[in-house]
Amino acid sequence: MSMDIRRPVLTIIGAGGIGSQTVDLLIPALRRIGMECEIIIMDGDLVEDTNLGHQKYTSSDIGKPKVECLASRYTLEDDSVSVIAMSENFRNIDQVKGSNYVIICVDRPEPRRLVHSLDIPWIDLRCGGDGYLVLSSDSQKELIAHMTPDHEPKSCQHEGALNLGNLEFGFAISASYGAQWALQQLRKSPSPIQAMGSMNFGQLTFPDIRSKKEATQ
């Protein structure tokens, strides 16, 4: 993996509904404002026909590595934003060694917890149907742990929804938070910390999770 030390490095882990949409929002925005950055997109999945419609792929991408499709689409010669594809799943924090920022948008808790252990700025983007959940390195540690229980991998679309003709866009809201967070982090400006809500029910309130020290006082 070759990195340009003159540029900040942002790693986006996960290239599904949220991740591919984040890439699509962020890279043109960075180019528009002339912000230099190296973006690494990490995901070991291949494009499947079931990904079309809510992920930024076309029928000609089917069977190809997701990250390579995105990198080839968003790479320009002599550009302020360089895009690197890493066609592998995130299993070890050494895979993000050298990164200055991390966006994680995956469907399982184990990689999320690895990112949560990093000492660099990160944001964790999630969704389910029309709902969205965003946590960051500035969120309360106890809240992060509480909101990251063990569970089986979950798609951003509810099970069976697509077969019933229902596609929901919670993933797009999460991606918007991710793009905004990354751009403001790169600008050294205030960025989103956390959010939870539903397109049908509006903004939702996080549970009040107190630390053990606070609970005993």
Which CATH number characterizes residue 191's domain? Answer: 3.40.50.720
Query: Is residue 3 included in any domain, yes or no?
Result: no
Domain that holds residue 111: 9-216
Query: Is residue 185 included in any domain, yes or no?
Result: yes
Per the DSSP assignment, residues forming a β-bridge with 198 are: 131, 202
pLDDT in tens, the chain (217 residues): 444 457 999 999 999 999 999 999 999 999 999 999 999 999 999 999 999 999 999 999 999 999 999 999 999 877 899 999 999 999 999 999 999 999 999 999 999 999 999 999 999 999 999 999 999 999 999 999 999 999 988 888 888 877 888 888 999 999 999 999 999 999 999 999 999 999 999 999 999 987 554 545 5
Query: Is residue 4 included in any domain, yes or no?
Result: no
Q: What is d(CA 117, CA 122) in angstroms, rounded to the nearest whole number?
A: 10
Of 143, 98, 89, the residue nearest 116 (C-alpha):
143
Cα 159 to Cα 53, 72, 109, 154, 168, distances in angstroms: 16, 31, 18, 9, 12
Query: Is residue 2 included in any domain, yes or no?
Result: no
Split into its structural domains, the chain has a count of: 1
Query: Is residue 1 included in any domain, yes or no?
Result: no
Q: What is d(CA 124, CA 194) in angstroms, rounded to the nearest whole number?
A: 9
Query: Is residue 72 included in any domain, yes or no?
Result: yes
* Prediction pTM value: 0.92
Query: Is residue 183 included in any domain, yes or no?
Result: yes
Residues 6+ apart with CB under 8 A from 156: 16, 17, 18, 54, 107, 127, 128, 129, 170, 171
Query: Is residue 169 included in any domain, yes or no?
Result: yes
